[in-house]
Amino acid sequence: MKAPTQPGLTKRANVIQTVAKPPIKPSVFQSLETKFEDKPRRTEYPSRGKVLPPPRLGNSRHDDYGSHKYPPPREPHRFDREPYRERPLHPTPLGPRDRRPFDNRDVDPRARRGYEPPPKILKSSKPRRKKFKKVVKKHRRVVLPVQKLPEDWAQSDFVYYPKPDRNSVVGAGTYGKVFKAHHVYLSKCVALKTLPLRQDRWVKDGLHLTSLREIKLLKSISHQHENIIGIREIFLEGPSCNLVFDYFEFDMHGIIYSSKVGLEDGMMKDLIQQVFRGLDFLHTKAHILHRDIKAANILVSSAGQVRITDFGLAKHVKDDAELENQPWYRKKFEHSNRVITTPYRPPELLLGATLYGGEVDVWSAGCVLFEAFLKKLPFQGTGEDVDHLLTIWKILGLPNVNKYPEVVELEWYWLFMSRVQPKKSIFARLYKNKISPQLYHLLCCIFQHDPKKRPTAAQVLTHPFFTSESPLPESSAPVLQSVEGEWHELEYKMIRDKEKASVRRKQ
């Protein structure tokens, strides 16, 4: 006999009600009830990636609740729930922020219980700030009068100089700058050559080797010849060593190329003659090679007095012709060939010669002689050593091995000869008709490939160009004293750079 059906129950529910309901432990019922009531169903994911079907309620051999071990619950649980939907492998993103769990907390902290608002601070329209008065101390400038020393004290070496500024720079080199300064007590202009102290891992507050060599040589020959610069004193100030020299208004570079200084041939001849006198003293009496003779290193005063300066590359040598062929002498007295500015460098140094004498200075002085009368360098190139050597060979021709056999022993001779074709000298065709006969003859004697055939400085002074050819040497003081301004290499370069810049702007 069928049991009467109740309204609101399905057929499956009627069947469940008619089944005998054995007693069940409350703990089991509680655990099952909480399992299916509080927690949502979860799909188990096996290791192979297969999704198991959801468990079903009812009497089935696949259903645990249909067995005697796990009987169905007394009361049905959510039979009106929605059909099961299989969840995807990857969870779907949550909804908006307000729908997420635990996001229903109060946004406004004032809605909490026991909230006490902070005390209100009355804000004024203007912020209250302490005003500090700026106190400016005015110091009274006191100008002290310049002390006047007695004559015997004025000749002392311990004097003071004002700090030089940028506008007073009259020269710059590899190892320092030259400033124009004023002697406080003597009211006289002097030249300050600043040598920066060297800082490295071995030497602290030390000078460069060339600076030490220059100081040593200048102290040994200072004020011994009228055509050699004399050092007055040496003092340290801050991170530099200062050398004090007499100040000269001109140098040969400024006199040659400046349009405001126009010297006649006799005046120019007098200046060049003084240069060779200074070289004669260095080579014969002081036994010093200057190794940097050029127009910028020859100073000229307004009285027409010449001084040879810049002994940074100078070196003391021992002149002994008998010992030159000895191996120990050659090894001990070999010199560097990386000396002398490139346009004034002789060809033997460009070929790698390391044993030489005063003939290298004579070649450089001959370039200054050529520059003084023709207003240009005799061998003007790009400034590189190779180009300068090729320019010399282009004008003077290649060296004759029969007349100059030592050239074959030079280090880089065959390296250059393999790239150059034989050429003859074109020096006569270029300059013979532009200068006087005696000057042409003197330049031909100086510009020889074999350094042993070049004349010494003393032989140049006895040449007819200085002794008999007119015009004879005459003083240039009247012209130099009337020249406006002071002309050095630095001033000429600044004017030339401004002219080049103006031409570029017009283009």
d(CA 453, CA 296): 27
Backbone angles phi, psi at 192, to 5 degrees: -105, 120
33-36 contacts, C-beta under 8 A, 24 or more apart: 33/73, 33/77, 36/77, 36/78
Query: Helices 359-374 and 437-446, interaxial angle, to 10°?
Result: 150
| Spatial contact of 221 and 445, defined as CB atoms under 8 Å apart | no
| Spatial contact of 76 and 9, defined as CB atoms under 8 Å apart | no
d(CA 367, CA 333): 26
Q: Which two tokens stand for residue 438?
A: 């005696």
d(CA 425, CA 395): 5
d(CA 253, CA 287): 27
Active site residues: 292
d(CA 195, CA 236): 10
| Spatial contact of 362 and 370, defined as CB atoms under 8 Å apart | no
Q: Which two tokens stand for residue 118?
A: 């902070």
d(CA 472, CA 304): 15
Rg (CA), the chain: 51
Q: Is 453 labeled as ligand-binding?
A: no
d(CA 298, CA 270): 13
Alpha helices per DSSP H over 317-384: 327-332, 347-350, 359-374
Other C-beta atoms closer than 10 Å to the C-beta of 85 total 7
Burial class (CB in 10 A: 0-12, 13-18, 19+), 102: exposed
3-state SS, 99-132, equals HCCCCCCCCCHHHCCCCCCCCCCCCCCCCCCCCC
Element (H, E) at 478: helix 477-481
| Spatial contact of 239 and 197, defined as CB atoms under 8 Å apart | yes
Q: Report the alpha-carbon angle 343-172-160, nearest 5.
A: 145
Q: Which two tokens stand for residue 12?
A: 């499956």
Binding-site residue numbers for ATP are 193
Binding-site residue numbers are 193
